[in-house]
Structure 1
Amino acid sequence: MKKVVLGLSVLALALTSCGTKQKLADLEAKNKETQDLLNTCTIKLNSALAERNAFSKEIDHLKKNNSDLLSNMGNMTMLSSKGAENLEKTLESMKEKDLKITRLQDAITKKDSVTLALVRSVKKEVGFDDPDISVNVEKGVVYISIADKLLFKTAGYEVSADAKRVLAKVAAIAKSKPDFEVMVEGHTDNVSIKNAMMRDNWDLSVKRAVSIVQVLQNDFQLNPGQLVASGRGEYVPLVENDTPENKARNRRTRILLLPKIDQFYDMIEKEMKNMTK
């Protein structure tokens, strides 16, 4: 009977790990897709700005022609009707192009401003002065990286009491952003582990991520629909695992605050289509 229970537990853990890996892969793919879209959007924006500059030069040229005409004719009423018509069409085209550029810039700025506001909120709320905690932004995603010595005992996955003060602040921020996802990502060094509780480093990294997710849900009532637990094992190190100090740096947990980018993606995509009309 014990063997059956143990087998079912291992199977459940494997399925959970596969699910979190797939969720992580989906989120990374979506983030890359949006980043590619933003890059394309920036190219189109620069092209539109160059086109606007060309319009400005054309307007200056038309104004000069009309000014020369006025000087030659000596009378405002003799303004070339063709020149005036061309000037009016150019001004109207430039106005329409400016409107499209403004909308596109607003879409990009909105996404950037949401990320910037979140970074400020995290730093203000958490007030990280601890060298074992860092906050940074990569490709529009806010990362909170916490050294494992602050969260767990060696080779363990039970969250320490001291760690909960940090997690309480993270939970408060996440609660204020109900449309954000909170992904907890476990990382280990390359020292292999295998015992009665742990099969390998993959297992340890996933168990640590799940432990933190459970604290956020059970102790701080964070909406479980916002939470994602994932393990990266030893395979995404910050530095080479060639010294005890570097191994300590690689043993960490990252908490990713992910805006649901569909709203920005749809808005930017819409404005990009308008740019081509």
Structure 2
Amino acid sequence: MKFSIVAPAVLLVVALGTGCVSNKKFAELQSNNTKLQQSNEELNQKLRASESDVSGSKIRIKSLEEQIAAEKSNAAALQAALNKCLNSTSQGNVNISKLVDEINSSNKYIQQLVNAKNKSDSLNMVLTNNLTRSLSREEMGDVDVKVLKGVVYISLSDNMLYKSGSYEISDKANTALSKIAKIITDYKDYDVLIEGNTDNVPIAKPNIRNNWDLSALRASSVVQALQNSYGVDPKRLTAGGRGEYNPIASNDSPAGKSQNRRTQIIITPKLDQFMDLIGKAPAETKP
């Protein structure tokens, strides 16, 4: 919208039309007309600037409206993501709580196993001490006592029991056998297996065919000694030989062969008898 300043020009024409004016008056009118034209131009410039500002403001308003719409969309998306996260966190807390319970239960079970093992080790130690309390320090050097799964294994070296290369009981074995016989007699409700074992060196005796014969004969010699010399009830005794086929060490060295040449006295109590063996050991007998 444009504003035109026409009043001065009209007045000038009217003035000229009505008559002659003085030069001074004419110059004054002309000066006023020039000023009015300049003012009109300035007003037109301000109008154009205002229209430009209004157009720019409209553009900025539209841009701001678009930004506001985008921010609202982002806010809605963030809220949806937050709600999903909260739901997931709630479910995650349930899963974490369940996992913690499982870990605690597992740790408790592990601790129970550790306690059971410690108790088992302690019981085995008590039982071993009870079984060997009547043996001297020297005799303990040739006697190995172990408790495995409620079964007592008393292992005697062949050097302690037999004459070299023979199944005959040696004189020095009598003291140890007498004390082992006392243990067996004290716990009269337990079955006893005497098991002979050899190394892998073939036997060279005319009356012994192989290591099977030697291991069985040695076990039989111990059984008969316990029966005949120490009064152990033979109904409780079993003699068996395993030859060279139950080694506990390598036969590649003299030390390993020495460990494999052994006789085991295996006492097999039932569970209630096993506990009784621990809790009611016989009185200590001095060597």
If the length of structure 1 is used for normalisation, what is the TM-score? 0.52
The residue that corresponds to 1:141 in the other structure is 151
Q: Out of 197, 201, 210, which is 1:200 matched to?
A: 210
Residue-by-residue CA offset, 1:77-107 (whole Å, 9 max, x unaligned)? xxxxxxxxxxxxxxxxxxxxxxxxxxxxxxx
Residue pair 1:159, 1:211 contacting (<8 A) in 2 also = yes
Shift of 1:114: 8.1
Query: Percentage identity across aligned positions?
Result: 45
Tell me if structure 1 keeps the 8 A contact 2:150–2:271: no
Match status 1:120 vs 2:129: yes
Instruction: Quote the residue 1:177 is aligned against.
Output: 187
Q: CA deviation at 1:117?
A: 5.3
CA contact (8 A) 1:186 1:208 kept: yes
TM superposition outliers: structure 1 runs of 4+ over 4 Å = 111-117, 261-264
Do the aligned residues in 2 keep the contact of 1:121 with 1:173 (CA within 8 Å)? no
The question of whether the paired residues in 2 share the 8 Å contact of 1:128 and 1:134 is answered with no
**Other structure's SS at 1:229 match:** strand
Which amino acid counterpart does residue 209 of structure 1 have in structure 2?
A: A
Structure 2 counterpart SS, 1:233: coil
Aligned position for 1:217: 227
Instruction: Give the structure 1 partner of residue 81 of structure 2.
Output: none
Pick the aligned partner of 1:191 from 201, 212, 232.
201
- Deviations 1:124-145, CA, capped at 9 Å, x for gaps: 1224544222111112111111
**1:263 Cα deviation after fit:** 7.5
Superposition deviation, residue 222 in structure 1 = 0.4
**Matched letter for residue 135 of structure 2:** V
Distance in 1 between residues matched to 2:122 and 2:250, nearest whole Å: 35
Deviation for aligned residue 1:258: 1.3
SS state at 1:175 partner: helix
Aligned residues: 164
Cα distance in structure 2, aligned partners of 1:194 and 1:149: 18
Amino acid at match of 2:133: K
Q: CA deviation at 1:261?
A: 5.0
Partner of 2:253: 243
Which residue, 218, 235, 240 being the options, matches 1:230? 240
> Which whole-Å CA distance do the structure 1 matches of 2:268 and 2:137 have between them?
20
Paired residue secondary structure (1:125): coil
Alignment RMSD: 3.2
- Distance, in Å, in 1 between the alignment partners of 2:169 and 2:273 is 35
* Greater RCO (CA < 8 Å, at least 6 residues apart): 1
* Structure 1 contact 181–260 (Cα < 8 Å) conserved: no
* Alignment-mate amino acid for residue 119 of structure 1: T
Following TM superposition, by how much is the alpha carbon of 1:250 offset from its aligned partner in structure 2, in angstroms? 1.0
Q: Which runs of 5+ in 2 are unaligned?
A: 1-104, 109-118, 275-287
**Structure 1 residue identity aligned to 2:193:** M
1:260 to 1:113, Cα distance in 2 relative to 1, 3 A: farther
Distance 1:150 1:114, change over 3 A: same
Q: How does 1:38-57 map to 2 (within 5 A)?
A: none
1:116 Cα deviation from its structure 2 partner? 6.0
Amino acid at match of 1:227: L
Residues 199 and 260, structure 2, Cα contact 8 Å, conserved in 1: yes
Name the aligned partner's letter for residue 167 of structure 2. Y
Q: Aligned partners of 2:259 and 2:242: how far apart in 1? A: 15
Check 1:115–1:218 CA distance in 2 against 1; reply closer, same or farther (3 A cut).
Answer: farther
Q: Which residue of 1 aligns with 2:171?
A: 161
- In structure 2, relative to structure 1, the CA distance for the partners of 1:132 and 1:181 (3 Å cut) is same
Instruction: Quote the Cα distance in structure 2 between the aligned partners of 1:175 and 1:115.
Output: 20
